[in-house]
């Protein structure tokens, strides 16, 4: 059992939990808890490392065995080491390090979401989860957006990382990927009402940063603005809520699923 936070693997996990560049250099990220670990097993992703405390139940032990079959080294750690390694205040006792998924996106695209410079990790994770449920085929992120493999994003996304392709692109490369699609941008208080747009074609929706909206290079890609009408004109919506309302209107019109 590892009982020291000076342990090499413990230091590695702590760096992965806290530093974007550590995750990016190695192309790995960290998940915690049974629910996400099950998603990892279901995706048949290769797995690098499992840390767990020694009080696992029978089902959790079966899950650890399945993770070992995917290539994971298994280490038992003390409660205090798990607290040091966890990104949550109440660690679930099971932590997994694995490569960031590479999920191919369909060709050609017909339903893409672009998130530009969103700062809040909980919002980005919720958008990931929501986009998957609404039938989005690929999520494009611009540089300046919070790292999609940040632990808080991973937690809020509840496994969407294993199913939804995510690509981080410069505006120019993004323009190429969206070529031929109708591109709409969500704005508070400006543009066509979101339910008056015909979404039954190849479309991309852009959601901007909470405070300032999308940057000019991204904004210029859009054909038009869409807004969600609100009862109180001074109001705005949380970015994840605005994304959800428009994405499910798109899904409703397209008859997906």
Binding site for a second copy (CB under 8 A): 122, 126, 129-130, 132-135, 156, 158, 163, 195, 228-232, 235-238, 240-241, 244-245, 248-249, 251-252, 256-257
Nearer to a second copy, 143 or 252 (CB): 252
Nearer to a second copy, 3 or 236 (CB): 236
| CA pseudo-torsion sign 12, 145, 199, 178 | negative
Closest distance of CB 226 from a second copy, Å: 13
Nearer to a second copy, 44 or 236 (CB): 236
Nearer to a second copy, 122 or 215 (CB): 122
Nearer to a second copy, 95 or 247 (CB): 247
Structure tokens at 93: 């006792």
Q: In what order do the strands lie in the sheet with 182-186?
A: 166-169, 138-142, 111-115, 203-207, 182-186, 224-227, 192-193
Whether residue 185 contacts residue 115, with contact meaning beta carbons closer than 8 Å, is answered with no
Closest distance of CB 210 from a second copy, Å: 11
Structure tokens at 237: 């919506």
Give phi and psi for 65, each to the nearest 5: -60, -40
| Residue whose pair of structure tokens reads 């790995």 in the numeric block | 28
Q: How far is CA 233 from the centre of its chain?
A: 31
| Residue whose pair of structure tokens reads 């679930």 in the numeric block | 92
Closest distance of CB 190 from a second copy, Å: 16
Closest distance of CB 131 from a second copy, Å: 10
Q: In what order do the strands lie in the sheet with 49-52?
A: 28-32, 94-99, 49-52, 73-76
Closest distance of CB 128 from a second copy, Å: 11
Closest distance of CB 135 from a second copy, Å: 4
**Measured CA distances, 81 to 29, 60, 229 (Å):** 18, 19, 50
Nearer to a second copy, 176 or 234 (CB): 234
């Amino acid at each position: 059992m590892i009982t020291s936070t000076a342990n090499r693997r413990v230091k590695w996990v702590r760096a992965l939990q806290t530093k974007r560049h550590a995750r990016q250099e190695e192309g790995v990220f960290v998940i915690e808890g049974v629910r996400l670990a099950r998603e990892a097993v279901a995706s048949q992703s290769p797995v690098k490392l499992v840390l767990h405390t020694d009080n696992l139940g029978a089902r959790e032990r079966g899950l650890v065995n399945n993770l070992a079959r995917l290539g994971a080294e298994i280490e038992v750690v003390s409660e205090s080491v798990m607290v040091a390694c966890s990104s949550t205040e109440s660690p679930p006792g099971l932590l997994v390090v694995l490569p960031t998924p590479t999920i191919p996106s369909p060709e050609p695209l017909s339903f893409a979401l672009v998130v530009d410079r969103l700062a809040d990790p909980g919002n980005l994770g919720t958008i990931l989860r929501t986009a998957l449920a609404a039938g989005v085929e690929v999520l494009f992120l611009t540089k300046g957006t919070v790292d999609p493999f940040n632990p808080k994003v991973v937690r809020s996304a509840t496994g969407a990382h294993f199913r939804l392709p995510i690509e981080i692109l410069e505006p120019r490369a993004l323009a190429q990927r969206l070529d031929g699609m109708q591109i709409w941008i969500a704005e508070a208080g400006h543009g066509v009402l979101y339910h008056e747009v015909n979404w039954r074609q190849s479309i991309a929706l852009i959601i901007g940063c909470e405070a300032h909206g999308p940057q000019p290079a991204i904004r210029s890609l859009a054909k038009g603005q869409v807004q969600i009408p609100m009862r109180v004109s001074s109001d705005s919506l949380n970015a994840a809520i605005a994304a959800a309302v428009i994405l499910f209107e798109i899904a409703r019109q397209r008859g997906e699923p």
